[in-house]
A and B are shown apart, each in its own frame.
Chain A
């Protein structure tokens, strides 16, 4: 149903098509970490930033399936329903940094 292997974008075409937008995202990420360095306040990383740094390490560990592995890293891995909810929204990373 997807493009046949002969029709699908080849390696060079994927680079040509997508490199610039992801180059920009890499610089965005770097600028965000630089901004954090400049900001006054805690020397300790927020748990969300701890997870972000771990996710960055997954990007360059040489293994595939990076997106799903980063999703799992950023997920609450417990399985029991909660009694009460501390907040209504979500943080984007599990509050326990060592989860």
Chain B
């Protein structure tokens, strides 16, 4: 059965991962721009990264029959220096018309600071002006609740329709508010710090399967590029129907991502 991993950082993963994901049924991925594990020290460092996301990585994915798409931004961890963040943001429009760019992301907050909020607001203005979809990163651990609420208020202030915004890394204490306010929600399956497959399926049982997807957010840290197929097995373990598995891991991502004209799947 086919699936989509709508949030994974393949620049940090090997071709073995691509192969295993393809063998498990992955037909498409979307890769948000993120923090490399260290702060990049120049605008050109970001230009090279955007070239990697829009040119190199799609070719690497295509070798395994996987459609690669991406999202562009300066991530919130590097947004504390507002002047530098603005310089980086000024080059993003050069890349927005590349064929695999779906929108702006993963923007959001890290430590819920005023400077991060300033740059979040300016990314939202860019998305609004260009009519781009938005993928949002919510903060980790104790900062998630507060950050998620601040982010939803910032989107409301921007005037962007929440139906064009996916708020990622939701957990039990944030998913209800995200869905109630009309946003799409993403659950991230991470070994220690986010949802396990079991808890992700609990969330589906409690909050339903509309406007929600799951992803591995596989990256350079301790993460699992096969987390989505593992969550599919967890749904089957609980005798949930194949239609539910397909909805959450395939058709829901297609519904949201197809709002960008650049999203495509091979037949």
Interface, chain A (partner B; CB < 8 A): 1-3, 7-9, 17-18, 67-68, 71-72, 74-79, 81-85, 87-94
Contacts and interface: CB of A to CB of B under 8 A. Distances in A.
B244 A2 contact: yes
Interface of B: 77, 80, 110-114, 116-117, 139-146, 149-150, 171-173, 198-199, 202, 204-205, 208-209, 237-241, 243-244, 247
Contacts of B113: 81-85
A67 B202 contact: yes
A41 to B, nearest CB: 23
Given A67-B202, A71-B173, A85 B111 contact: yes
Contact of A2 (B77, B80, B117, B205): B205
A18 B201 CA distance: 14
Contacts of A77: 145-146
B240 A74 contact: no
Contact of A9 (B140, B143, B172, B239): B239
A91 B149 CA distance: 20
Contact of A79 (B111, B149, B205, B238): B149
Q: Which 10 A-B pairs have the closest CB atoms?
A: A71-B173, A85-B111, A90-B141, A75-B145, A68-B172, A90-B140, A1-B209, A67-B172, A92-B141, A3-B240
Nearest to B248: A1
Contact of A88 (B111, B144, B199, B241): B111
A72 B142 contact: no
Nearest to A86: B111
A16 B10 CA distance: 38
Nearest to A82: B113
Given A67-B202, A83-B113, A75 B144 contact: yes
Contact of B240 (A2, A75, A90, A94): A2
Contacts of A89: 140
A76 B204 contact: no
B247 A81 contact: no
